[in-house]
Structure 1
Amino acid sequence: MQFHEVRFPANLSFGAVGGPERKTEIVSLVNGHEERNTPWAHSRRHYDAGMGMRSLDDVETLIGFFEARQGQMYGFRWKDWSDFKSCLPSGKVAFDDQVIAEGDGEAKAFQLVKLYRSGTHSYARPIKKPVQGTVRIGVEGVEMQEGVHYSVDTATGIVTFEMAPNEGDEITAGFEFDVPVRFDTDRIRSSVASFQAGEVPDVPVIEVRA
């Protein structure tokens, strides 16, 4: 994938508007009932980077970042301030925040995931872009040590153990993470006069499948 492992300036993504999108296909039947289906296993997030702009210096930073990514050509990391931790936004990352897998005695590599729950239903979101230095891993309630017991690929979100966890062992994780995105436009339009008057450039950003 054409992707740059660099984060969009976090101070500029703060205040941006966005969130997850689902794709639902709805067929209305002759009896008035509906059939609903989705071709997407995972949601896709959209943001407006322009909403975080606060000054002309911010616009200059944005343009520099946009040009370095060659518009829509290269993806990059994005900090979603409303959802960037394995725990609640107000909480502190812990090694037992999320159950990511159960050992089978053979597998050594496991994907980081974040579980979203509501009632009896849940959704497991693969986390592909963890933030370096924030990942904590536990096995059966005991925290492991990175570089000794496991390693983390921050470009894929894969955790690899030195020795396979025993069968039935609960593997847990805590982490901060970014969203893999790209610009959803090849053009940025800004006006000095209008920006100083309180208007901001429209800069759509969309999640990519990593």
Structure 2
Amino acid sequence: MGFHEIRFPANLSFGSVGGPERRTEIVMLANGFEERNTPWEHSRRRYDAGVGMRSLDDIAALIAFFEARRGQMFGFRWKDWSDYRSGRASQPVTAFDQEIAVGNGLRTEFQLIKTYRSGGQAYARPVQKPVQGTVLVALDRDEKVMGQEVTVDPRSGLITFETPPAKGAVIWAGFEFDVPVRFDTDRIQTSVASFQAGDVPNVPVVEVRV
């Protein structure tokens, strides 16, 4: 799949609407009960970037970005302003925001994840597009030196330790992250309302698997 490691202008995604989508198959039984199943292990997010357009300069930036991605052809990074940190949105990133895994004395590579909890249930979301320079990693309670003791691949979200973490050692991480997306249309329609203001009614964006 073609993917460009470039972020959609964050000032244009600010104010956009969207969020996670799930697919659930529901079968109504003869006795009135339901059977529910989902073919998706992970949710997928959709957004409308048109809401963030505020000026003709914004529209020009959107069109340039759209043309450079060849419409739906190439994916790109998207900042979801409602969910872009490993911890609470109101708090700065720390190395102890998320428990990533537990060492076994052999593995050196681990996938960044963000876990969503409610009641006794939890969902672990793979994070594959961390923002470079924001990732912090700790082993048990010892924060590691990025670039020396541990490295991160911003294209995949894999963290790699120089030496395998000991068996039973808890691996922690904190980070900011983007969502891998593509345009969900091959056409951008604009309507100029005045010389200094424009209107883009619908610019759909959808998350992609990478």
- Class of the TM-score when normalised by the shorter of the 2 chains: over 0.9
**Under a length normalisation based on structure 1, what TM-score does the superposition of the two structures give?**
0.97
CA shift at 1:196, angstroms? 6.8
Contact 2:192 2:199 (C-alpha < 8 Å) held by counterparts: no
Indicate the larger mover: 31-40 or 184-193: 184-193
Any conservation in 2 of the 1:188–1:201 contact (CA below 8 Å)?
no
Match of 1:19 in 2: 19
RMSD (Å) for aligned C-alpha atoms? 1.3
2:59 aligns to what?
Answer: 59
Identity %: 66
SS at match of 1:186: coil
Matches within 5 A, 1:182-201: 182-193=182-193, 199-201=199-201
How many residues end up aligned between the 2 structures?
A: 210
In the TM superposition, what is the alpha-carbon distance from 1:195 to its structure 2 partner?
Answer: 9.5
Q: CA deviation at 1:197?
A: 7.5
Q: After superposition, what is the alpha-carbon deviation per residue over 1:46-80, rounded to whole angstroms, capped at 9, x for unaligned?
A: 00010110111100000000000000000000000
**What do the CA deviations read for 1:78-113 (whole angstroms, capped 9, x no partner)?**
000000000111001000100000000000000000
Which segments of 5 or more consecutive residues in structure 2 lack a partner in the other structure? none
Does the 8 Å contact 1:16/1:51 carry over to 2? yes
> Secondary structure, in 3 states, of the residue corresponding to 2:193?
helix
Moved more, 195-204 or 121-130: 195-204
Is residue 96 of structure 1 aligned with residue 96 of structure 2?
yes
Aligned match of 1:142 = 142
Mapping of residues 54-203 of structure 1, within 5 Å: 54-193=54-193, 199-203=199-203
TM-score by length of 2: 0.97
Displacement of 1:193 in angstroms is 2.8
From the superposition, tell whether residues 118 and 195 of structure 1 become closer, same or farther in structure 2 (CA, over 3 Å).
Answer: farther
Q: Which moved more, 1:141-150 or 1:97-106?
A: 141-150
Flag structure 1 segments of 5+ consecutive residues without an equivalent.
none
> For the residues of structure 2 that align with 1:198 and 1:29, how far apart are their CA atoms?
51
1:5 corresponds to 2:5:
yes
Secondary structure of 1:12's aligned partner: helix
Give how far 1:147 is off: 1.2
* Whole-angstrom CA distance in 2 between matches of 1:195 and 1:35: 55
The separation in 1 between residues aligned to 2:78 and 2:5, in whole angstroms, is: 10
2:59 and 2:98 map into 1 onto residues whose CA distance is 38
- Structure-1 separation of matches of 2:10 and 2:177: 12
- Aligned amino acid, residue 75 of structure 1: G
Runs of 4+ more than 2 Å apart = 193-201
